[in-house]
Amino acid sequence: MAHYSRLGKIVMDVPADHHDQEVTFWEGALGQKLDVPMRHPEYQGTVLHGQDFALLIQRTGTGPARVHVDIHTDDLAAEVARLEQLGAERVAQRHTWWVMRDPAGLLFCVLQDDSGTLTGANAHRWE
């Protein structure tokens, strides 16, 4: 099925005891606040100046800090199926998105964007 998708975010997954320090660091590094209201309280972030791209800091439980990317799409089922054909596998559904693993074992997420957000001007159209 024809649909759009694009790389939409970099997400820093940070244990709770380092979260505030990480937010302060990235606000200083980028010169902007990570203060856009999020649907889920474990996230803090913003759209980067002059870009249609976001940075999020996610408060996690225990474990090491890591980075993952989010792919945004206008058809979640079609994009997840397309990525599976390329060798990705589903790990878990969280809230309204899928956590997936690429062929090298790296985690990433696939999220449904609001209707009309993705177009030929800002995303790739898949047939």
Among 9-13, 59-63, 102-106, the least confident range: 59-63
Rounded Cα–Cα distance for residues 73 and 51 (Å): 18
Confidence of residue 57 (pLDDT cuts 50, 70, 90): very high
- Note whether 12 and 71 are within 8 A (CB): no
Residue 29 has pLDDT above 90, yes or no: yes
Say which residues have a Cβ less than 8 Å from residue 12's Cβ, sequence separation at least 6.
Answer: 22, 26, 55, 56, 57, 58, 65, 66, 67
Give me the domain span that covers residue 67: 3-126
Do the beta carbons of residue 113 and residue 3 sit within 8 Å?
A: no
pLDDT for the residue numbered 62: 84
What is the model's pTM?
Answer: 0.93
State the pLDDT confidence band at 84, using cuts at 50, 70 and 90: very high
Contacts of 43 (CB under 8 A, 6+ apart): 56, 57, 58, 59
Tens of pLDDT, residue by residue over 62-81, are: 889 999 999 999 999 999 99
How many domains, in total, are found in the chain?
A: 1
Rounded (10°) CA dihedral 17, 22, 27, 33 = -40
- Cβ atoms of 70 and 9 closer than 8 Å: yes
Q: List, in order, residues 6 or more apart from 21 with CB less than 8 Å away.
A: none
Query: What CATH number has the domain bearing residue 76?
Result: 3.10.180.10
